[in-house]
Amino acid sequence: MPTIKEFDETEILQGLKKPSTQSAAFSKIVQKYSEPLYWHIRRMVLSHDDTNDLMQNTFIKAWTGIDTFRGDSQLSTWLYRIAINETLTFLSKRSQSIPIDSPEASVVELLESDTYFNGDKAEAAFQEALQKLPPKQRLVFNMKYYEEMKYEEISELLGTSVGALKASYHLAVKKIEEFLKDKD
């Protein structure tokens, strides 16, 4: 398989402006950001199939909105914002359609039935604790913990102050610790 040429955002943006190179430039964006966006979404929704659907929706929205991208932010910021909005909308719809006492609502059962999940009981308990967090708090936790993003980066993506993000992350950690302590 040929190696990917270094990703030059300026070059990609220029390629997006020309109809003759737009498709190739967008393919480079998909190639560069598919994996990080996949894991970003997957940590929120857990299901591989739902993640793939949300990824597809994210890239479709990006493709259809590429002409409106002004370049005020980086491509990655723009894509993450689309992915975040798609994910939060999905989670909101899902929480409205699945009763809390429904068997489908069990995170552990969902993880254990997912052929792509290869974690142990501790990981399943940790994921269950994460799913108990409000979606936006879980989003902040995932971005800081898993993706090792700086608060400033998260602030730019979510449009929230750094102080509020720090407080949200701290609360998430405390809630997870309490859940895991009660689980023992």
Q: Name the pLDDT band for 119 (thresholds 50, 70, 90).
A: low
CA distance 3 to 74: 23
Asked if 80 and 9 sit in the same domain, the reply is yes
Residue 17 lies inside a defined structural domain of this protein? yes
Question: Given a cut of 80, is residue 97 above it in pLDDT?
Answer: no
For residue 84, what are the CA distances in angstroms to 9, 39, 77, 160? 21, 12, 10, 14
| CATH assignment of the domain containing 20 | 1.10.1740.10
Lowest mean pLDDT, pick from 46-55, 56-65, 99-108, 166-175: 99-108
Whole-prediction pTM: 0.76
Asked if 77 and 7 sit in the same domain, the reply is yes
In the structure encoding, which two tokens stand for residue 63, read together? 């493709």
Given this model, what pLDDT does residue 128 score?
83
What average pLDDT does range 178-184 have in this prediction?
A: 84
What average pLDDT does range 154-173 have in this prediction?
A: 94
In 10 A of CB 109, how many CB atoms? 12
Question: Given a cut of 50, is residue 4 above it in pLDDT?
Answer: no
What average pLDDT does range 137-155 have in this prediction?
A: 92
Question: Given a cut of 80, is residue 155 above it in pLDDT?
Answer: yes
In 10 A of CB 168, how many CB atoms? 22
The DSSP call for residue 155 is H
CA distance 40 to 157: 13
Please count the structural domains in the chain.
2
Question: Given a cut of 60, is residue 48 above it in pLDDT?
Answer: yes
What average pLDDT does range 50-70 have in this prediction?
A: 92
In the structure encoding, which two tokens stand for residue 73, read together? 């932010």
Segments forming the whole domain that contains residue 30: 1-97
Given this model, what pLDDT does residue 173 score?
95
